[in-house]
Amino acid sequence: MKLGVVGLPNVGKSTLFNAITHAGAEAANYPFCTIEPNVGVVAVPDERLEKLAALYASKKVTPAVVEFVDIAGLVKGASRGEGLGNKFLSHIREVDAIVHVVRCFEDENITHVENKIDPVHDIATINLELILADIEAVEKRQDRIRNAARGGSDKSALAEFAFLEKLQKHLEAEQPASSLPLTEEEKPLLDNLFLLSAKPVIYCANIAERDMGRDEAELPLVCAVKEYAARHAAETIVVCAKTEEELAQMDEEDRALFLEEFGLKESGLDKLVRASYSLLGLISFLTAGEKETRAWTIVKGTKAPQAAGKIHTDFERGFIRAEVVEWQTLLECGGLAGAREKGKVRSEGKDYVMKDGDVVLFRFNV
Report phi then psi at 206, rounded to 5.
-90, 110
Report the pLDDT value the prediction gives residue 277, as an integer from 0 to 100. Answer: 87
* Inter-residue contact 82 to 125 (CB < 8 Å): no
CA 68 to chain centroid, in Å, comes to: 8
How would you write the pLDDT of the chain (366 residues) with one tens digit per residue?
788 888 888 888 888 888 877 644 444 443 434 445 577 788 888 999 999 999 999 999 999 888 888 876 555 554 455 444 455 677 778 889 999 999 998 776 655 555 678 899 999 988 888 899 899 899 999 999 998 888 777 889 999 999 999 999 999 999 999 999 999 999 999 999 989 899 999 999 999 988 888 888 899 999 999 999 999 889 999 999 988 888 888 888 888 898 888 888 888 888 888 888 888 899 999 999 999 999 999 999 999 999 999 999 999 999 999 999 999 999 999 999 999 999 999 999 999 999 999 999 999 998
Report the pLDDT value the prediction gives residue 123, as an integer from 0 to 100. Answer: 92
CA 80 to chain centroid, in Å, comes to: 27
29 CB burial (10 A radius; 0-12, 13-18, 19+)? exposed
Report the pLDDT value the prediction gives residue 72, as an integer from 0 to 100. Answer: 66
* Inter-residue contact 142 to 171 (CB < 8 Å): no
Task: Output the CA–CA distances (angstroms, integers) from residue 61 to 22, 54, 64, 71, in the order listed.
Answer: 20, 10, 10, 30
pLDDT tens profile 50-71? 999 999 999 999 998 888 888 7
Which residues on neighbouring strands pair with residue 319, listed in sequence order? 364
Q: What length is written for the chain?
A: 366
Distance CA 91, CA 4 (A): 8
